[in-house]
Structure 1
């Protein structure tokens, strides 16, 4: 199907700088990703502004997804300003989709035009994870979604320390 052509962006980092990958994956990524993709879910303007500001980090690494996310967050601000908040289900699904799409950057040699059919397989689990994290965020708060995200990443990353990757 073309999976063998793709490499993972963190393979070299894991072999050469395991501690950095652990810190980035368990602490930094959950903190930033939850702030960018889920803080705004309760549709409060200051939280949308936080997501908008931090989404500049995404534009640096993945300009297309980052720019689309920024446009979407601006749309949310406009809708709130006009006193016409969007449907919460739509906001959750779109947030999960952006969360999934940003993880396409984890794959090296990924050409969207020649591998578009792989996208659901490559990031489907991140989409479902984004829905779960959205549920946690909306029902228990942002700190719990950050904690869950960090623990989830730890469960994936720490066992790799004991395996030959």
Structure 2
């Protein structure tokens, strides 16, 4: 799986994958597992990096969501609204680029823009701009996989993958809050 996505990242092409329903489902599950694994890995890297260098990036937007909104609203925003809006904004336009050279750059730009927009998740960056690539590494990684499935299977699949990814990552926090278990 990683090899296929890595190959696509190196030489992206605007070519849909002809696949059976079973093959699409298998691809989806493998991409989801890989994305979640990498997001957790990058999250641990960010935490370790912040601790090691005593960096403070302020509250994360997800923390603010949980503080200010109901569980239902957080679930709606993270698992429904954000995936739909972000996929429409960052990946829906990819298929209009028919020229291979234009498509390649559009794919790379969509990944970078997806990462850059998520820097707004951090309330404090001042003077620590050099850390931005590390802070948005989970989103850059996710952008690669979401762009891949967008092209290979279609926009619906990228929205679904994005939603499932967000659900898997927020579910433990939602359970803690639902059960009113203190996080600290």
TM-score (norm: length of structure 1): 0.69
**Count of residue pairs the alignment pairs up:** 125
4+ residue stretches of structure 1 with deviation over 2 A?
A: 1-6, 84-87, 162-165
Query: After superposition, where does 1:49-64 map in structure 2 within 5 Å?
Result: none
- 3-state DSSP of counterpart to 2:166: helix
Deviation at residue 31 of structure 1 after TM alignment: 0.2
| 1:32 pairs with 2:85 | yes
Q: 2: CA distance between counterparts of 1:116 and 1:2?
A: 15
Q: Deviations over 1:30-70 (max 9, x none)?
A: 000000000011126xxxxxxxxxxxxxxxxxxxxxxxxxx
Counterpart contact for 2:57–2:122, Cα < 8 Å? no
Q: 2: CA distance between counterparts of 1:13 and 1:105?
A: 13
Query: After superposition, where does 1:1-165 map in structure 2 within 5 Å?
Result: 1=53, 3-17=55-69, 18-43=71-96, 86-111=101-126, 114-163=127-176, 164-165=182-183
Q: 2: CA distance between counterparts of 1:123 and 1:141?
A: 25
Larger RCO: 1 or 2 (CA < 8 Å, sep 6+): 2
Q: Greater helix percent: which structure?
A: 1
- 3-state DSSP of counterpart to 1:10: helix
Deviation at residue 136 of structure 1 after TM alignment: 0.3
Deviation at residue 109 of structure 1 after TM alignment: 1.8
